[in-house]
Amino acid sequence: MPEINFTEKVRELLSKREGVHTAFVHTYGCQQNFSDGEKLEGILEQMGYTIVDSAEGAEFVIFNTCAIRENAEKRVFGNVGILKKAHEENPDMIIAVCGCMVQQEHIAKKFRQSYPFVDIVFGTHAAPRLPELVYKHITAKKRQFDIGEGEGCMAEYLPIHRDDDMKANLPIMHGCDNFCTYCVVPLVRGREKSRLPENILAEAREIVAAGYKEITLLGQNVNSYGKGLENKITFAELLREVNAIPGDFRIKFMTSHPKDCTRELLEAIRDCEKVCNYIHLPVQSGSNDVLHRMNRRYTAEHYMELVDMAREIIPDVTITSDLIVGFPGETEEDFEATMELSRKARWSMTYSFIYSKREGTKAAVMEDQIPHDVSSNRFQRLLDLQTEISHEINASFVGKTTTVLFDDEVDVGEGYISGRSYENLVVRAPRTDVQKGFAKVYLKESLGWALDGEIIKTEEI
């Protein structure tokens, strides 16, 4: 039997209805999920939908969800609930929920039972089957559920609608094998799988040809890229190959797991002129006891060796981190070890989180869960210390010259345009002096949270 082209079938159905068919994808969570969201938008476009940037008035709304912490999930339930009325008023409206949250059985069940106005629920592995689900929903007027297996957004043939005009996401692998005891990702995303280097390089070339100025290589642990591929390749080697693509662009990557961070990688960052002098190297905790119970498989001492080695090999490198406070059993002494590591590692920025219990993880059943008031107090102390350090790091760059990609990512006040430097620092400059794109900048003054830059005109270089 020939395969049915459901994309075409939905296109036909839509063409019989009047007007423009609008769709909005609301993505939560990490950059990988945003990248998946861009593929869902690509699929929607192929079916004949026009992508819009708000749920208001949209005919089709997809919630592409994140399960990493409880508050991420709460927000989704709240935002889905808001659309109930719009759905009642427009019988043609479709509401779908997909992504990491629905890959958990208890959540899928909740949508099935308590959110009857959600028309389609599909998991992280089912994205390529979206056209079929939409077609069946429209023609049978029935709710569709698909939490089954499949390639998900890893499928090589999926179209993509890129949301940004300067920066492009490029997933190099999917899933995670690390099973940190607090983390739901391996449970909802499945096992780690690397894409073939030739597919990654072809996509990188397309991105560059389309005029993008920044490529971010994405994976939950990019340092283990290549595991399981027939022709052996390391992440450092891949980085060098992407760097060799001609063009005016730069490269970032995330996330690096400290247990797999090597000298080879740090040297590749140093040698590759397009790779930014910046590493996101999440430590999670400064206490060896906590790290052990988190199953992170490195010690605070090993982490500091990596930081020192990075600073020795890569000039002006900045390092950022993720931290969790209030992991089960975290004592005041454990927390002090995290504060101490912050002082030593001197991250330019951190993402800190209060531990959130996730069903199905090992940490969820550990004894001695920490009361919220203790965690929030520690969280605030850590934040205050980090603010001080971030300001000091910014100040240490005053007087240096760097390249900034201006793209207005951060709101930096009226009359100014923002960008990120080659070291990932937030820099601003007067709008009258520079357009979006790359510019050479003299870092004139620290504003604490950012740097004031002076554009160096090309003739002055």
Interface with ligand F3S (CB under 6 A), residue from 58, 68, 166, 242: 68
Contact range with ligand SAH by CB under 6 A, out of 109-117, 208-216, 354-362, 424-432: 354-362
Residue with Cβ nearer ligand SAH (328 or 419): 328
Residue 186 contacts which entry, ligand SF4, ligand F3S, ligand SAH, none (Cβ below 5-8 A, type-dependent): ligand SF4
Check binding of 103 to ligand SAH (CB under 6 A): no
Interface with ligand F3S (CB under 6 A), residue from 14, 83, 134, 185: 185
Interface with ligand F3S (CB under 6 A), residue from 24, 25, 26, 33: 33
Q: How many residues bind ligand F3S, per CB under 6 A?
A: 12
Q: Which residues within the stretch 261-290 sit at the binding site for ligand F3S (CB under 6 A)? A: none
Residue 324 contacts which entry, ligand F3S, ligand SAH, ligand SF4, none (Cβ below 5-8 A, type-dependent): ligand SAH
Q: Which residues within the stretch 293-352 sit at the binding site for ligand SAH (CB under 6 A)? A: 322, 324
Check binding of 66 to ligand F3S (CB under 6 A): yes
Residue with Cβ nearer ligand F3S (73 or 334): 73
Residue with Cβ nearer ligand SF4 (22 or 350): 350
The 138-177 contact track toward ligand SAH, x by CB under 6 A, reads ----------------------------------------
Burial of 120 (0-12, 13-18, 19+ CB in 10 A): buried
Residue with Cβ nearer ligand F3S (30 or 86): 30
Contact range with ligand SAH by CB under 6 A, out of 137-145, 259-267, 305-313, 355-363: 355-363
Interface with ligand SAH (CB under 6 A), residue from 47, 130, 154, 183: 183
Check binding of 321 to ligand F3S (CB under 6 A): no
Q: What is the 3-state secondary structure (H, E, C) of the chain?
A: CCCCCHHHHHHHHHHCCCCCCEEEEEECCCHHHHHHHHHHHHHHHHCCCEECCCCCCCCEEEEEECCCCHHHHHHHHHHHHHCHHHHHHCCCCEEEEEECHHHCHHHHHHHHHHCCCCCEEECCCCHHHHHHHHHHHHHHCCCEEECCCCCHHHCCCCCCCCCCCCEEEEECEECCCCCCCCCCHHHHHCCCEECCHHHHHHHHHHHHHCCCCEEEEECCCHHHCCCCCCCCCCHHHHHHHHHCCCCCCEEEEECCCHHHCCHHHHHHHHHCCCECCEEECCCECCCHHHHHHCCCCCCHHHHHHHHHHHHHHCCCCEEEEEEEECCCCCCHHHHHHHHHHHHHHCCCEEEEEECCCCCCCCHHHCCCCCCHHHHHHHHHHHHHHHHHHHHHHHHHCCCCEEEEEECCCCCCCCCEEEEEECCCCEEEEEHHHCCCEEEEEEEEEECCCCEEEEECCHHHC
Q: Which residues within the stretch 73-102 sit at the binding site for ligand F3S (CB under 6 A)? A: 100
Residue with Cβ nearer ligand SF4 (238 or 254): 254
Minimum Å gap between C-beta 274 and ligand SAH is 23
Residue with Cβ nearer ligand F3S (32 or 223): 32
Check binding of 255 to ligand SAH (CB under 6 A): yes
Check binding of 374 to ligand F3S (CB under 6 A): no
**Site residues (CB under 6 A) for ligand F3S?**
29-30, 32-33, 66-68, 100, 184-185, 188-189
